[in-house]
Each structure stands twice: as C-alpha cells, then as structure tokens.
C-alpha cells in the first residue's frame, strides 16, 4: 500500500491503519529498535508503542516521508527504553555508538551551551548536505539507524577499517561545524 493511503487510513481512523503500517514498516522499525536495544522482545514492545504513538500523532500530523516519521518515533522510544535498561545493564553495541558521538561533544574547548534540539538538527542537516553521498549515508546508517560497523561495511562494500576511518573523519568535521555554529 502506498504511504499516502496508509496515512489516510489514520485520518479516517480506520482499524486496519496499524495493520497496514506493520505490514509495510514492521521489520524496518523492529530492526532500528533492535540495534539500539539488542533485545528482540524489547524491540517488539517498542514497535508496538510506535504504532500507538503514530495513531495518536496522525492526525493532526501528516508526515511527508512516512518511513522517516515512523523510524524517528521508534528511535526515540528505543532510546528512552535504553535509558531505562542501562540503569541495570549496559548494551555494548549501542553504547559504542554513543561513545563515538561523545567524542564530538566532549571537546575540552567546547562551551557548555544548551542549544535547541531543532537548531542542532538543522545544523547537522546542513552539514550532511555538504558531504559526499557515501560519507553522508555511512554517517546516517551509523548514527541514525545505529547499524554496526560490520553491517555498514557489507552494505557499502567497504572494509570495516575504511568505514571506521570515514566515520572518524566525519565526526571530526561535524564537531568543527557545530563549534563554528556555536552549538557546542
């Protein structure tokens, strides 16, 4: 089913809206949640919560890119659950992603500043648009989808060391960009 038709089901408050969403995006959302939570049951629950959140959000929202909309909700819910889970136990895979990002924000020269989330996201979008396509997509696969380095290397037919060095360079560039924008 086309995305527009699925969104319309939500506007019509049709009972099969969630079923159709699950059919088309269930695995996509589950894999995002799984990479953050590393637990199949947690990921399933997270995706069920995503459908509930989507039901509550549409209407009034009418997402233009349904996959990104659903993925973003899943991601945020998974991150919340990760916070809860990590109180008891570390999830090593996803913590690696966070450790890498911590390199960007942990600059000793950085000024403590509470930037608006939207402002930072806008600056990151602008930064990503300046990158070449491969570097941009590798960065997003790692830090949006939380893919493992091994999975990225297969997806883009690169060695793991090349993926790591590409991510390292992009993180450094992003830090410089955010500092320049006074967002760090």
Partner 1 sequence: MSQDKAKKLFRSIGDVDDDLVEEASQAKSKRKPFYPLLVKLVAAAAVVALIVGVGVTQLPGLLGGGSVTQILPAAEAGVMTAGGQSRGGPGTDAPTSNPRPFFNYNGYRYAFRANVMSNIPIAYNLTAFDFKKSVGTLEYDLAAVMTGESSEQELAGRDYAATFALGGTVWELPGYNPGFRLAVELDDIWYIADVVGRVDGEPLGAKYYIDTAKLDKQVSQILITPLNYGDILGTIDGETASKLLAELKNASPASLTNEEYETFARIQSQGGTYTLVVQLKDATSVEMLITPELGIISIGDDKYHLTDRFVADYGSLFEGLEHIAPPMQ
Residues that bind partner 1 (CB under 8 A): 27-28, 30-31, 34-35, 38-40, 43, 63-65, 67-69, 71-72, 75-76, 79, 83, 92-93, 95-99, 101-102, 104-106, 117-118, 120-121, 124-125, 128-129, 133, 136-137, 140-141, 143-145, 148, 150-151, 153-161
Compute and round to an integer the Cα radius of gyration of the chain: 18
**C-beta closer to partner 1: residue 109 or 133:** 133
Q: How far is the CB of 15 from partner 1 (least distance, A)?
A: 27
Q: How far is the CB of 5 from partner 1 (least distance, A)?
A: 18
Of 141, 134, 123, nearest to 158 by C-alpha is 134
Do 55 and 82 form a contact (C-beta atoms < 8 A)? no
Q: How far is the CB of 62 from partner 1 (least distance, A)?
A: 13
As a residue count, the chain comes to 184
**C-beta closer to partner 1: residue 15 or 41:** 41
Q: How far is the CB of 4 from partner 1 (least distance, A)?
A: 15
**C-beta closer to partner 1: residue 60 or 113:** 113
Q: How many CA atoms lie within 13 A of 140 on its CB side?
A: 15
Q: How far is the CB of 86 from partner 1 (least distance, A)?
A: 9
**C-beta closer to partner 1: residue 18 or 174:** 174
**C-beta closer to partner 1: residue 48 or 120:** 120
Q: What CA–CA distances, in Å, run from 14 to 50, 57, 63, 71?
A: 17, 14, 17, 22
What does the alpha-carbon distance between residue 39 and residue 13 come to, in Å, rounded to a whole number? 31
Residues 6+ apart with CB under 8 A from 179: 107, 109, 110
For the record, the structure tokens of 179 come out as 């500092």
């Amino acid at each position: 089913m086309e995305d527009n038709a699925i969104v319309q089901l939500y506007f019509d408050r049709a009972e099969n809206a969630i079923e159709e969403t699950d059919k088309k995006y269930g695995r996509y959302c589950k894999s995002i949640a799984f990479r953050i939570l590393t637990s199949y049951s947690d990921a399933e629950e997270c995706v069920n919560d995503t459908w509930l959140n989507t039901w509550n959000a549409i209407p009034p929202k009418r997402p233009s890119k349904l996959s990104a909309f659903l993925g973003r909700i899943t991601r945020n819910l998974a991150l919340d659950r990760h916070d809860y889970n990590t109180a008891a136990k570390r999830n090593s895979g996803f913590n690696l992603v966070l450790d890498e990002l911590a390199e960007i924000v942990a600059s000793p020269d950085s000024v403590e500043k509470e930037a608006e989330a939207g402002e930072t996201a806008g600056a990151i979008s602008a930064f990503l648009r300046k990158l070449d396509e491969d570097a941009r997509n590798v960065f997003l696969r790692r830090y949006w989808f939380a893919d493992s380095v091994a999975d990225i290397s297969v997806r883009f037919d690169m060695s793991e060391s090349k993926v790591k060095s590409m991510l390292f360079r992009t993180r450094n560039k992003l830090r410089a960009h955010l500092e320049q924008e006074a967002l760090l």
